[in-house]
Amino acid sequence: MTDQTASAFYQVYEVFSQRSAGSPMVHQFSLLAPNEDMALLLAKENFFRREPCTNLWVVRRDHIRMTDEDERLMFQRMDKVYRETKGYGEVRRQWRKYISEEEER
């Protein structure tokens, strides 16, 4: 089998596992397999020997959509300071300052 036919035959799959019910899925490793059934079988053979888990996912890498550069920039621009509680400690001081300025007028 040549490199070109091998790359057309095998797909890259990402393997995720869940340790117990209610815990999050965690990425474990990537593997090459000809189809999703073989990918699941290879993931079971490799992963179940290492540690127990309750759920196992295999996802073809090209079926995972990632954010592009423009979308990542959009997330950085979102100012959500109003959701943070660090500013509330200053409210009493600012309120007193405002009242004293109003009294001076």
What are the chain's domains?
Answer: 3-104 (3.10.20.520)
**Average pLDDT along the chain:** 85
Alpha helices in 1-105 (DSSP H): 3-9, 36-47, 69-77, 91-104
Q: Of the given ranges (13-17, 29-33, 77-81), which has the lowest mean pLDDT?
A: 77-81
Q: What is the pLDDT of residues 41-73, one digit of tens each?
A: 999 998 777 788 899 999 999 999 988 888 888
On the 0-12 / 13-18 / 19+ scale of CB atoms within 10 A, 58 is buried
Stretch 78-92: mean pLDDT, rounded?
69
Residue 24 per-residue DSSP state: P
52 vs 39, higher pLDDT: 39
